Amino acid sequence: KAGVTQTPRYLIKTRGQQVTLSCSPISGHRSVSWYQQTPGQGLQFLFEYFSETQRNKGNFPGRFSGRQFSNSRSEMNVSTLELGDSALYLCASTGTGWSEQYFGPGTRLTVT
């Protein structure tokens, strides 16, 4: 069974631009969660989608948004990029019930 995939793997953007990251969960998984990982703050929860609906949202500004499609693939968007948005963005998929989350390889975003 294929794992969680994320594209692109690396991205360099300029302040003020916007970016869209994509995540395809494990086949059959309907929940996708997004996390931001930085050296100073560690792994922080951004939001979770289940059946195309956002179920929970972390403490991030409105510049961070996401969506989920009917095939469970998810995208997250960051608008008006700031230098502090440079981070590894990880998505994780979860199967039925309260099971463990499996992470994708991440997208390394660098904002210059």
Partner 1 sequence: EDKVVQSPLSLVVHEGDTVTLNCSYEVTNFRSLLWYKQEKKAPTFLFMLTSSGIEKKSGRLSSILDKKELFSILNITATQTGDSAIYLCAGSNYGGATNKLIFGTGTLLAVQP
The window from 11-19, 31-39, 64-72, 79-87 that contacts partner 1 (CB under 8 A) reads 31-39
Q: Which region among 13-21, 39-47, 66-74, 78-86 touches partner 1 (by CB under 8 A)?
A: 39-47
What is the DSSP pairing of strand 87-94 with strand 31-38?
antiparallel
CB 107 within 8 A of CB 21: yes
Beta bridge partners of residue 99, listed in sequence order? none
Only one residue has tokens 């009917």, namely: 70
60 binds partner 1 (CB under 8 A): no
Among 21, 23, 31, 85, binds partner 1 (CB under 8 A): 31
Which span (18-26, 70-78, 79-87, 90-98) binds partner 1, by CB under 8 A? 90-98
Find the farthest-apart pair of alpha carbons in the chain and give their distance in angstroms, rounded: 41
